[in-house]
Chain A
Amino acid sequence: MDASLVSEPVVLLGFGAAAVNAACALRAEGYAGRITVVTDAGVDPYSPVLTSYYAGGRIERDACNPWADLDLAHVVDDVRAHARIESLDVAAHEVVLENGDRLRYSKLLVATGAHPIAPGFPQVEGYTPLVLRTMADAVRLRDALTSERCRDVLVSGTSMVALKVLEACLDRGKRVTLLGRSSHILRASAHPLVAQRFEEELVARGVELRLRQTVRGAEPADADARAEGGLLVTFGTGEAQRFDEVVLAQGVEPNLDFVPRGALDADRGLIVDRFMRTSAPDVFAAGDVAQALDLSTGAPRVIGLWQNAVQQGRCAGRAMAAELAGRLPTRPYPGSIPRNVIHVGDVLFASVGLPAEDGRRRIEVRESPSALRVLIYEERAGQDALVGFNMLVMRQVADRREFDSEVGARFREIMKSYLRQGGDGS
């Protein structure tokens, strides 16, 4: 590193799980220089995982900051709140903000998270559909769901976020329609058998499902969509239905608009090595922008999970501190596999590994009135190895106990399957 850079601060772009843990790791590893955070949000960080609980009324705003006990003012020197990043100049080691400020860095962490995308939903003049990612999104959703005017909500998407929005709507007593192009909900994580059972449980709770459907058009139901009328949405089937609010939860993309094309190796996110280093010297990435090792395929992949962001941020912080102290980093990010747990009301769903079937795989279905398990095996080195697991539990307390003890065990078993074969996915 250029000697003139050593005295420059470490700059963290973003103020979520990855950035906070990077900052803490830098300090824990003895870094005593300045740490500057640049965030488009306020000075208090928040957990995006909690936003649906806030919108649904289960928790208040104060509880959305999981680091409330941590004295971040003693960890981070400077928080540039409500700041927009204009561009990144990796050659000059500079971040340029929208207000013209140029921040020079010794090390940089890109942890800017992701934003919702809404492919294919028609624009309606005078109406902006709701989304759920940031705290500002959550405030808007909460305001909408607490309005007496709002009775019918269309949630477009079948992702985990879509289901958490759906739960928030149910918590607020709304009638919900869930719309998706795919045949089943949770296409990326649920085996069709489990997804179907989950769908039946949602329908039993009053949710209307419109799967394998698209939106052909949307227009104000009356002259003033914001007054009483809401939106009239026409589906691909030709049916039209009125909704008071529409929430788009169709997926996310990393926030990387400020990275010039070609400046950093990128695919779906920024490609990182085992120490979360990007292709540019002194630039690290973590969280939803980082394409890190996916042990299930052996290839880099963005796996946008809270725990991954925490561990990647910590890994980056340690590595930055080591390099700034003239040492080689020693504790690599071990990689991860896709996994998730979600509850919608009293329905619990867990997914680990790869839920998809193919010719090489054998599935085992275990079913009871209140629980459904799908185990997916693949032959590896002459042995049946567990590579995917789904579990759905409804209501019964006894089965919920099994869920808690079983999901962790299955996660470890599947991790071992992949680690045994070196994470090359073959």
Chain B
Amino acid sequence: MTSKTLSFDAGKCVGCYACAVACMDQNDIDATAGQQMYRQVMHYENARAGEVRVTHVSLACMHCDAAECLDACPSGALRRDAGSDAVVVRRELCIGCHACAMACPFGVPRFGRDGTMQKCDACYARTRFGLAPACVDICPTGALSYDDVNAAMAGKQARFGKSFAR
């Protein structure tokens, strides 16, 4: 089981889409042919006290510890990769029943033209050889990181602490 985790810091994201493009490259996703992007970048505006604040968010599968999609999948197409702890899909076993779409709290599952589910696999083909996921590798601001769990938690705690100073 991995001791590393993929983290996202919205405070550092500039919405440049580099992560989404790297993901498409890594996974040979042809969006023009109707293939679904595994990583989505979203932008939100929030006006408060006369100031407009823009937040960029880069999201893909959360690879939940208690992944509802794993419980919902009746075909064994979804499984947890023992090496990386990622929730991965074996498309050859997917029957396209969409039960995972109902179960996922984050709206992650998407279905290709062949009817099978497609999603982020946390680049387990890279991480098993010590490489960072493609989205992390390309991120120019460090918004996406792939760190030791304790280091990631320390960073999260530091950001939480800093929020009191605002």
- List residues of A whose CB falls within 8 A of some B CB: 17, 47, 49-50, 53, 58-59, 63, 65-69, 306-307, 310-311, 339, 341-343, 348, 350, 352, 397, 400-401, 403-405, 407-409, 411-412
Contacts and interface: CB of A to CB of B under 8 A. Distances in A.
Given A53-B95, A400-B111, A407 B75 contact: no
B103 A49 contact: no
B102 A411 contact: yes
A412 B105 contact: yes
Contacts of A412: 105
Given A53-B95, A58-B95, A63-B93, A339 B75 contact: no
A306 B97 CA distance: 12
Interface of B: 34, 36, 68, 71-76, 79, 93, 95-99, 101-107, 109-111, 113, 115
A343 B74 contact: no
Q: For chain B, what secondary structure do more than half of its interface residues adopt (helix, strand, loop), or is it mixed?
A: loop
Given A67-B76, A306-B99, A404 B71 contact: no
Contacts of B115: 343
Given A310-B71, A411-B102, 10 more contacts: A49-B74, A50-B75, A66-B74, A69-B76, A307-B103, A341-B102, A352-B102, A400-B111, A404-B98, A405-B101
Nearest to A58: B95
B98 A49 contact: no
21 contacts: A47-B75, A49-B74, A49-B95, A50-B95, A53-B95, A63-B93, A65-B76, A66-B75, A68-B76, A69-B79, A307-B71, A307-B99, A310-B71, A310-B72, A339-B102, A341-B97, A401-B110, A403-B101, A407-B98, A407-B101, A411-B102
B73 A404 contact: no
Contacts of A69: 76, 79
A159 to B, nearest CB: 16
A408 B34 contact: no
A47 B109 CA distance: 21
In this complex, the member of A47, A311, A339, A341 whose beta carbon has the largest number of chain B beta carbons within 10 angstroms is A341
Contacts of B105: 408, 412
A343 B101 CA distance: 13
Contacts of A404: 98, 101, 107, 109-111
Contacts of A307: 68, 71-72, 99, 103
Contact of A408 (B74, B79, B96, B103): B103
A53 B75 CA distance: 10
Contacts of A65: 76
Interface centre among A50, A307, A348, A400 (most CB of B within 10 A): A307
A50 B74 contact: yes
In this complex, the member of A50, A400, A404 whose beta carbon has the largest number of chain B beta carbons within 10 angstroms is A404
Contacts of A67: 76
Nearest to A405: B107
A343 B96 CA distance: 8
A121 B74 CA distance: 31
A376 B88 CA distance: 35
A408 B95 contact: no
A50 B71 CA distance: 15
Contacts of B95: 49-50, 53, 58-59
B131 to A, nearest CB: 25
B88 to A, nearest CB: 12
A307 B107 CA distance: 17
A346 B134 CA distance: 34
A94 B104 CA distance: 41
Contacts of A58: 95
Contacts of A311: 71
B75 A49 contact: yes
A69 to B, nearest CB: 7
A370 to B, nearest CB: 15
Contacts of B36: 401
Which 3 residue pairs of A and B lie closest in terms of their CB atoms, listed nearest first? A66-B76, A49-B74, A405-B107
B75 A63 contact: yes
Contacts of B68: 307
A57 to B, nearest CB: 12
Contacts of B110: 401, 404
B119 to A, nearest CB: 10
B90 to A, nearest CB: 9
A408 B110 CA distance: 12
Nearest to B70: A310
Contacts of B73: 66
Nearest to B92: A63
Contact of B98 (A47, A350, A409): A350
A350 B111 contact: no
Contact of B74 (A47, A68, A403): A47
Contacts of A342: 97
A49 B109 CA distance: 19
Contacts of B103: 307, 408, 411
Nearest to A21: B71
A350 B102 contact: yes
A55 to B, nearest CB: 13
B96 A409 contact: no
